[in-house]
Every structure is written in C-alpha cells, then in structure tokens.
Amino acid sequence: MNGWVRRRQDGQALVQVAVAMVVLLGFVSLAIDVGHLYAERRRMQNAADAGALAGAHELCFGTAANAEAKALEYTTVRNGAEAADISIQEWEVGVVARETVELWLASLFVPDIEIKAEAAAACKAATRACEVWPIGFSMDRWPGHQACGTKFFLWDSSDQQACANWYCNVYCDEVNFFLPLDQRAWIDFTAVLDDGEPDPCDEPGCGEKELIWRMWGCRKNKWSDPCLPGNQCRSVINIPSCAQGDAGVKNPAWFTADNMAGEIVRFPLYDGEAGSCNVQEPCEGQGCCGNPDLGYDLSRLGCVRILGTTRLCKQDKACKAPPGCSNGPKVILVEIPCDPFGQPPPECSTACGRTGNDPPLPGDVRAVSLIK
C-alpha cells in the first residue's frame, strides 16, 4: 500500500516539473521576443531620426522639392525601414518609420507586430554657433536678408558717403549696400562663450591679436603658419545674449579678410544701438574692451562669403589700380553666399548649431536639429 502511494506521488512530481518547464519556456520566449521588439523599435527610431534630419537638411541647403525623397531614402533605403510616411510643413519634416516584425517563440499566439517610430526635424535660424567672427553688425543696416548673391561693402572707415563719391575700382558696379563704421562693433566674446572651458584666445583688452586669432579660428603667428597645438579659438556663443563691444577701427581685420578671400564666415548681428542691453558681467579696470557700459544685444547670426578687399579712391584724385590706390577708406567686399543652384551652401550652418523658432532668411546661419 505504501509503495503504491509513493508511485502516485512520483507521478505528480513529473506533472509539476512539466508544467514548470512550460511556464519557464513561456517566460524565456517572452523575454526573447520583448528584447527583439525593443531592438527593432530602436532601429526604427534611428531610421526615423535619420530621415527627418536628411529631409530638413535638404530644405536648408538643397532643393525643397527633393526634401520628401531625401527623407524617404534615408529612412528606408539607408536605414532599413519597410515603409515611411513623410510630412513637410514649412521648414519642418516629420517621419513615421514602419516595419512588421515576426515574433519567434510567441508566434504561436501572435504571428507578427507592426512597429512605428516618429521623428521630426527642423531647419531654422541658428541660436547657437561656433567659430564665429568677433565682429557684430547692426540689424538696422544689415542687407543680408536680400536674395542670396547680394554683394555689399564692409567699411573700415568712419566715412559713410555713398560709392558715387569714390572711385571704387573693380567693385563699385557690383555692390548696392554699405555697412559703415557706426553699424559695426568688435564684440568681446569672453563673457558669452558657451563651451564652459578655458578660452585660449582670450587676451586682455580685446587686442588685435585676439581679434585676428578669432577670425582665423586659432592661435598662430601668421596666416601661412599651422595652428598651434591645443589652441583652437572656441568662439561658441548663444543667441540671444548681451556682450560688450568696441567701435574702434582695427586694421588687422582688413588684412585678415584679404587672406581669407573665398571663405564663408559667421558673425553675430545686434539690435539697436550700443547700450541697448545690460552686460551682466561688465569689464572693469585696465584691459576693458571699449566702454564697459556699452552692451550689444546679439539677436541673430549672419553668414557671408568674403570676396576680397580694396581701397576706394577720391573722385578728384588720379587713381591707380589696387593696391596703388591708398587715399580712400579700406573696404571688404562680401556676398550672401549661394551654391550653383541658388541655395545657401552647407557652410552657412554650424557644427555646434541649435535651432530656434525663426524660419531661416537669406544670410542667416542655419541649423538643423531634431525637434521630436
């Protein structure tokens, strides 16, 4: 009798082990399938992000009509989504990446599941930029929001007369705008740098060396020299911000621009006159950059291509071709850059950029970033 009871109990143990194995396998299959779904969901999110960024970049620097195709290409062909829904609204691109995922062990109950991931990216005027020139220009006279390709002079003199009063040599037939001295200021970046690291280009007094180094992007003894190791000028600023300025003329800017002909540069634009905002950390004592009470309200970031430099000549003087002419003001000729298709080039963006809320205008530094 006792032996019979033991045999019945042994049989129950086998049933319990079998049930436990089924439950254990269920948990294992659930873990495997959940992990698989999570990995595929992450892959779809990457595909949606890539597609949205590619589409927004095409809006910024390519052809708006190609933005949808570019977003679809980067979502599906390049990043493996089975299908994608693309929506474009003004300067924003939305992407929904989709794929059907077959389950493994759980396929006995649910054969497959559709996975979706959403992303949105925007092309807007940048509110953060790096490698910025320390020269601010007034929005009141800024001609950059004309069509790209617009050419204008940056005056390096206090003379504000029109070009009709000068022999403008090779440039006067090409320009329609002038940015005189009182519409420009040297900006002290020391207080508005955004990187949080020591600034190797900071020199007391906003001197000529610091100006040149920031325009070059690094410390070096002359233009043809390589940058000194570990001395990149970290001119990273946020917009809007308030910075001190100095309206003085600094000839090295003209010389530096002459060496940078053909390059695209970025710089801040300010609203109002000097003193229109309160500098939070004003410069005090010896080495101040201009008047410590003059705050410039930096409100936008501009972008131009340097075409060259020259000196204008008085109309009543016989004038030789540059550089023989030396009795007039120094000028830097720039243009709002375009690529061969009439679009702003990618150099009008910034590697450390961040988008704001304003749509980009010609001459703006642009940024592309995810907004969703």
Alpha carbons 372 and 355: distance in angstroms, whole number = 13
Q: Residue 91 carries which DSSP code?
A: T
Q: What is the pLDDT of residues 127-186, one digit of tens each?
A: 988 888 888 888 877 877 888 888 887 765 545 455 556 655 555 556 656 666 567 777
pLDDT of amino acid 286: 47
Q: What is the pLDDT of residues 223-238, one digit of tens each?
A: 788 887 766 776 778 8
Binning pLDDT at 50, 70 and 90, where does residue 341 land? confident
Do residues 319 and 169 lie in contact, with contact meaning Cβ atoms separated by under 8 Å?
yes
Residue 23 has pLDDT above 60, yes or no: no
Residue 29 has pLDDT above 90, yes or no: no
| The model's pTM | 0.77
Q: What is the pLDDT of residues 277-329, one digit of tens each?
A: 877 665 555 445 556 567 788 889 999 999 888 777 665 555 444 445 556 67
**Consecutive H or E run containing 119:** strand 112-129
Extended beta strands in 277-363, E state: 295-311, 313-314, 330-335, 354-355
Residue 5 has pLDDT above 80, yes or no: no
109 burial type by CB count under 10 A (0-12 exposed, 13-18 middle, 19+ buried)? exposed
**Consecutive H or E run containing 70:** helix 67-72
Rg (Cα) of the chain, in Å, rounded? 31
Residue 16 has pLDDT above 70, yes or no: no
